[in-house]
């Protein structure tokens, strides 16, 4: 086998490979001889069919089989000898594959860059933590109890006040024209509650059953529907009913009604749940900080093929959000060229960070086990109660689908390994700061 490197440009490598025709001929003859030992034809004893007849019947198929195997074997051998790690499967083009002539083919590939491992022990990170207070447990239980309050129709004619539930019909208009999603009948609105756009419930306060009113509301600038974000609209309101909340009494009896032995166990449940939520948020914050630090050290070039694939996936999501009117207002204001450039930079960062994370895991022999995959599948089932059988059936019928779970599991293993080596200092913050979304 003769290998000639024809291009070295950054991470791009091109080669021309020539395999002597005699080598292929020898392999074809050997394969045909193997077939003759098992081939059966009328008039011949098993294994005694002449090689000429075997060649006539299977010659073309064997030639194609030997050609494919020779190309694959030569490509693998060439990469192993040169310690090349392709970013994606190499592109192979056969130049000459005559029956008697030498086999010549070209290989085009992009190789993975040399990745220098960071000194994880030198990393210094801050992990925000927010201890759960008794007051926060009380607040969580109060919200839970509020959702189970008894609603009693208000018989007397009186204005709606804070805490009341008002049943209304409404019709939203933008520039005098009804807009999609702005109409509802028999919709319950809590005065002083959340769930509606700012200013909506506030202007219904004081209205009585049978009263009609036109209110003016401004949608938030970050509203998910781009055609309404930051826009001034009106709503035609008709009050149809009024209900008053009778709060639940939070005591041992209330705890027992909800499946707990007593109020103390009830409080413990809420405290544990809050602590779990905050532990998850703390981990996400310190994980993001860690990956940001690693990204700074991933200063090697990224293979263009991987960046293009990552960008294509990101851009598909951007276009889907734009088509559905869900594109972020800030992105919607940018021209196409600027938006593409920004997301391509994000794709480049993701690829470089992914390669660095993969190299850390490879160097420390981190593995994703079958137990890890089963645990991830169980967690997925817990997120979709009632659909457990469907999820199990999906993975049983699509074994490769399990591979999509490997990436996040592997990344978490690398994060755990890095955090064990890095210097991590806890910093106490409020719950609001802990759960605030930081811009990437």
300 and 113 Cβ atoms separated by less than 8 Å:
yes
Tokens 């509301």 identify what position? 217
Task: Using alpha carbons, list the distances in angstroms from residue 383 to 393, 397, 406.
Answer: 16, 21, 18
pLDDT computed for residue 98 by the predictor: 66
Backbone dihedral angles phi then psi of residue 351, each to the nearest 5 degrees: -65, -45
Element (H, E) at 153: strand 150-153
Cα gap 266→309, rounded to integer Å: 50
Burial 303-334 (b: 16+ CB within 10 A, else e): bebbbeebbeebeeebeebeeeeebeeeeeee
Q: CA angle 253-255-258, nearest 5°?
A: 110
What phi and psi values does residue 15 have, to the nearest 5 degrees?
A: -135, 150
User: Who's near 32: CB < 8 A, 6+ residues apart?
Assistant: 51, 54, 55, 58, 59, 62
Tell me the pTM: 0.76
Strand partners, 13: 8, 109
Residue pLDDT tens, the chain, 440 long: 899 999 999 999 999 999 999 999 999 989 988 888 887 777 777 777 788 888 888 888 999 999 999 999 999 999 999 999 999 999 999 998 766 789 999 999 999 999 999 999 999 999 999 999 999 999 999 999 988 889 999 999 999 999 899 999 999 999 999 999 899 999 999 998 877 788 999 999 999 999 999 999 999 887 878 788 889 999 999 999 999 989 899 999 999 999 999 999 999 999 999 999 999 999 999 999 999 999 999 999 999 999 999 999 999 999 998 888 788 888 988 999 999 999 999 999 999 999 999 999 999 999 999 899 889 888 888 888 888 888 888 888 887 787 788 889 999 999 999 999 999 999 999 999 999 975 44
Closest by CA position to 189, among listed 248, 225, 242, 236 = 242
Residue 292 dihedral angles phi and psi, to the nearest 5°: -60, -40
Which pLDDT score, from 0 to 100, does residue 99 have?
Answer: 67
Nearest to 17 by CA among 68, 71, 83: 71
């Amino acid at each position: 086998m003769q290998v000639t490197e024809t291009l070295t440009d950054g991470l791009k490598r091109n080669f021309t490979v020539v395999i002597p025709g005699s080598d292929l001929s020898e392999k074809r003859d050997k394969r045909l001889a193997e077939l003759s030992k098992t081939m059966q034809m009328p008039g011949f004893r098993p294994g005694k069919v002449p090689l000429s007849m075997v060649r006539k019947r299977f010659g073309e198929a064997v030639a194609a089989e030997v050609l494919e195997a020779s190309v694959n074997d030569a490509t693998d051998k060439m990469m192993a000898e040169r310690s090349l790690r392709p970013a994606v499967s190499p592109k192979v083009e056969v130049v000459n594959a005559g029956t008697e002539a030498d086999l010549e083919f070209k290989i085009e590939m992009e190789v993975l860059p040399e990745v220098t491992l960071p000194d994880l022990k030198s990393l210094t990170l801050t992990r925000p933590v927010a201890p759960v207070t008794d007051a926060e447990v009380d607040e969580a239980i109060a919200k839970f109890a509020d959702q189970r309050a008894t609603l009693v129709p208000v018989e007397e004619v009186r204005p709606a006040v804070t805490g009341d539930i008002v049943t209304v019909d409404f019709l939203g208009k933008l520039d005098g024209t009804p807009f999609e999603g702005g109409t509802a009948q028999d919709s319950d609105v809590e005065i002083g509650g959340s769930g509606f756009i700012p200013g909506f419930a506030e202007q219904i306060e004081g209205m009585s059953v049978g009263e009609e009113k036109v209110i003016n509301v401004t949608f938030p600038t970050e509203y998910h529907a781009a055609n309404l974000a930051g826009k001034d609209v009106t709503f035609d309101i008709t009050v149809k009913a009024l209900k008053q909340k009778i709060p639940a009494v939070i005591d041992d009896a209330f705890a027992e009604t909800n499946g707990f032995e007593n109020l103390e166990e009830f409080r413990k449940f809420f405290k544990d749940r809050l602590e779990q939520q905050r532990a998850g948020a703390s981990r996400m914050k310190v994980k993001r900080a860690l990956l940001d630090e690693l990204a700074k050290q991933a200063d090697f070039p990224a293979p263009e093929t991987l960046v293009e694939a990552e960008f294509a996936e990101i851009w598909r999501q951007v276009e889907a959000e734009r088509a559905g009117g869900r594109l972020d207002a800030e992105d919607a204001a940018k021209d196409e060229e600027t938006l593409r450039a920004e997301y391509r930079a994000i794709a480049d960062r993701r690829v470089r960070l992914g390669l660095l994370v993969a190299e850390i895991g490879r160097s420390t022999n981190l593995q994703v086990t079958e137990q890890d995959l089963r645990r991830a599948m169980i967690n997925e089932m817990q997120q979709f109660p009632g659909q457990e059988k469907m999820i199990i059936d999906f993975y049983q019928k699509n074994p490769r689908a399990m591979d999509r779970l490997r990436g996040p599991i592997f990344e978490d293993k690398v994060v755990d390994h890095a955090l064990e080596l890095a210097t991590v200092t806890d910093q106490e913050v409020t719950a609001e700061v802990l759960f605030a979304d930081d811009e990437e």
